Structure 1
Amino acid sequence: MSSYLVKRLSYIIIILFAASLLIFCLYAFTPGDFISGNIKLSPERKAELREIYGLNKPVLERYGIWLKNAFQGDFGFSLAQQRPVLKLFNEYIWNSFLLAVVSTFFTWLIAVIIGVIAAYKQYSWFDSLIMVFIFAAMSIPSFFIGLLLIKICAVDLKWLPPGGMTTTGSNATGFAYIQEVVRHMTLPVIVMTLLGLGSLTRYFRSNMIDVIQQDYIRTARAKGTKERKVLFTHALRNALLPAITLVGFELPGLFGGSLIIEKIFNWPGIGQLYMSSFATRDYPLLMGFTMFIAILTVIGTLLSDLLYSLADPRVKL
């Protein structure tokens, strides 16, 4: 195990180095930036700012400076926000993490339950209804579902607030603050859950159909084991093994999958900050966020490999 971890960590370092170089060059060679796109600045002031931030240096030299600072925990300075990128991440990323964790929990919980029942009642009216719902959830755009829920639940019925994290001007603290945040996050969590529920339910359903046709499932039923135990203990445990591979994609998806949702519901998360950075061409912030997603991706891949080896003893590292 230790030799495997050393080998994988060495691969991770090489991959991250290559990814950082590619991402940096991609943004560096993109036409325009925050300074050139700011019409309020005079040509002399633009030249002065380029000199201050080192934007007039060769690309490889700028990359070397950025890489050296990144090893010291400095991922650059946001020109649009006038704050260090790492401080902006620390301020906004936990709001995105709250949305992502809650929606991921409900997505997996509902997908496992519905997938097991649909596989057990294959070709029944319940299974047909679920399949229609799955394809509908996978085909409808996220912004349409979000705007539709805002129209129905917030504007017409006035059940829930249309956006934001708290009510404007609110000074709530303690449990009242928690209640306020829960009410505001309900709609975006519903949308994010619906978006991930379709494909994940289909995945669990197909896995369960394959597993419940195996010989050891027939043996368990022949021994008189209760059907609920057969499904949720014997079959589900083995059907979950291929799903461990998805864990590697869930980790970066916690922060990269809610970009549009945060914009629609005006949720103060890292996704909305990332989207607004495109309009201002704030490349240091865009570079830092993209590199953050790359780091989460390689960590998630390593985590899924380790979990798979722990869940299935047949897998040899």
Structure 2
Amino acid sequence: MSTYLAKRLVYMVIILFAASLLIFCLYALTPGDFISGNIKLTPERKAELREIYGLNKPVLERYAVWMKNAFHGDLGFSLSQQKPVLTLFNQYIWNSFLLAVVSTFFTWLIAVIIGVIAAYKQYSWFDTLVMVAIFAAMSLPSFFIGLFLIKILAVDWKWLPPGGMLTTGSNATGLAYVKEVVHHMTLPVIVMTLLGVGSLTRYFRSNMIDVIKQDYIRTARAKGMKERKVLFTHALRNALLPAITLVGFELPALFGGSLIIEQIFNWPGIGQLYMQSFSLRDYPLLMGFTMLIAVLTVIGTLISDILYRVADPRVRL
């Protein structure tokens, strides 16, 4: 295990170095930036700012400076927000994390339960309805579902707020603050769950169909075990093994959030900040966010490989 982890860490460093160089060059060579796109600045002021921030230096030299600062915990300075990138991350990223954790929990819970039942009742009316709902959810764009639910639940029925994290002008604290946040995040969580549960349910359904046809499942039934125990103890445990590989992609999703959903519901998360920075061409912030996702992706992949080995000792790393 120690040898495997050492090799993987070396590979991760090489991959992240190559990714950082590629991403930095792509952003640096893209025509225009925040300074050149700001029509309020005079040519003299633009030249001064480019000199201050080192934007007039060669790309590789700028990359070397960025990499040196990154090793010291400095991912740059956001020109549009006028704050360090790490300060902005700490300010916005936990809002996205909260939204994604809750929606991921409900997505996996619903997908597992429905997927197991649909596989057990294959070709029944329940299975047919599930498959129709899955393909309907996967075919509809996220912005359409979000706007439709805002129209129904927020505008027409007035059950939930249409957006934001808190009510405008709210000074709630303690338990009242928690209730207000939960009330505002309910609608985006519903949309994110609906968008994610479709493909995951189909994944669990197909895995369960393969597993329940195995000999050890027939043996468990022949021993007189209850069907619920056979499905959720013996069959589900083995059906979850292929799904462990998906865990590696969940980690960057937790912090990356949903770019479109946060825009639709005006949720103050890192996704909305990323979209604003993209339109303003604030490349230091874009670079920091992209590298954060890259780091979380390689870490998540390593965690999924280790979890697969823990879940199935027969697998050799």
Tell me the TM-score normalized by structure 1. 0.99
Which blocks of at least 5 consecutive residues in structure 2 are unaligned?
none
Q: Equivalences for 1:1-317 in 2 at 5 Å? A: 1-317=1-317
CA distance in 1, matches of 2:69, 2:254: 26
CA distance in 2, matches of 1:21, 1:157: 51
CA distance in 2, matches of 1:196, 1:52: 45
Which blocks of at least 5 consecutive residues in structure 1 are unaligned?
none
Note the alpha carbon deviations across 1:195-246, whole angstroms, 9 max, x for none: 1000000000000000000000000000101100000000000000000000
Contact 2:16 2:294 in 1 (8 A): yes
**Structure 1 moving runs of 4+ over 3 Å:** none
- 1:10 partner amino acid: V
SS at match of 2:109: helix
Q: CA deviation at 1:257?
A: 4.5
CA distance in 2, matches of 1:246, 1:256: 16
Contact 2:97 2:257 in 1 (8 A): no
- 1:59 partner amino acid: V
CA distance in 2, matches of 1:158, 1:229: 42
CA distance in 2, matches of 1:97, 1:252: 10
Note the alpha carbon deviations across 1:5-33, whole angstroms, 9 max, x for none: 00000000000000000000000000000
CA distance in 2, matches of 1:279, 1:220: 58
SS at match of 1:5: helix
- 1:141 partner amino acid: P
CA distance in 1, matches of 2:188, 2:265: 7
- 1:252 partner amino acid: P
The number of equivalent residue pairs is 317
How large is the Cα RMSD of the aligned pairs? 0.5
CA distance in 1, matches of 2:189, 2:107: 10
- 1:190 partner amino acid: I
Note the alpha carbon deviations across 1:158-204, whole angstroms, 9 max, x for none: 00000000000000111111010001000000000011000000000
- 2:286 partner amino acid: L
CA distance in 2, matches of 1:95, 1:278: 19
- 1:34 partner amino acid: F
SS at match of 2:167: coil
Q: CA deviation at 1:255?
A: 2.9
CA distance in 1, matches of 2:96, 2:139: 24
- 2:17 partner amino acid: F
Contact 2:94 2:255 in 1 (8 A): no
CA distance in 2, matches of 1:172, 1:248: 37
- 1:158 partner amino acid: K
CA distance in 1, matches of 2:129, 2:201: 13
CA distance in 1, matches of 2:226, 2:162: 46
Contact 2:96 2:257 in 1 (8 A): no
Q: CA deviation at 1:256?
A: 3.0
- 1:82 partner amino acid: Q
More displaced, 127-136 or 256-265?
Answer: 256-265
Note the alpha carbon deviations across 1:243-292, whole angstroms, 9 max, x for none: 00000111112233511000000000000000001111100000000000
Tell me the TM-score normalized by structure 2. 0.99
Identity of aligned residues (%): 86
- 2:296 partner amino acid: L
CA distance in 1, matches of 2:154, 2:225: 48
Q: CA deviation at 1:68?
A: 0.3
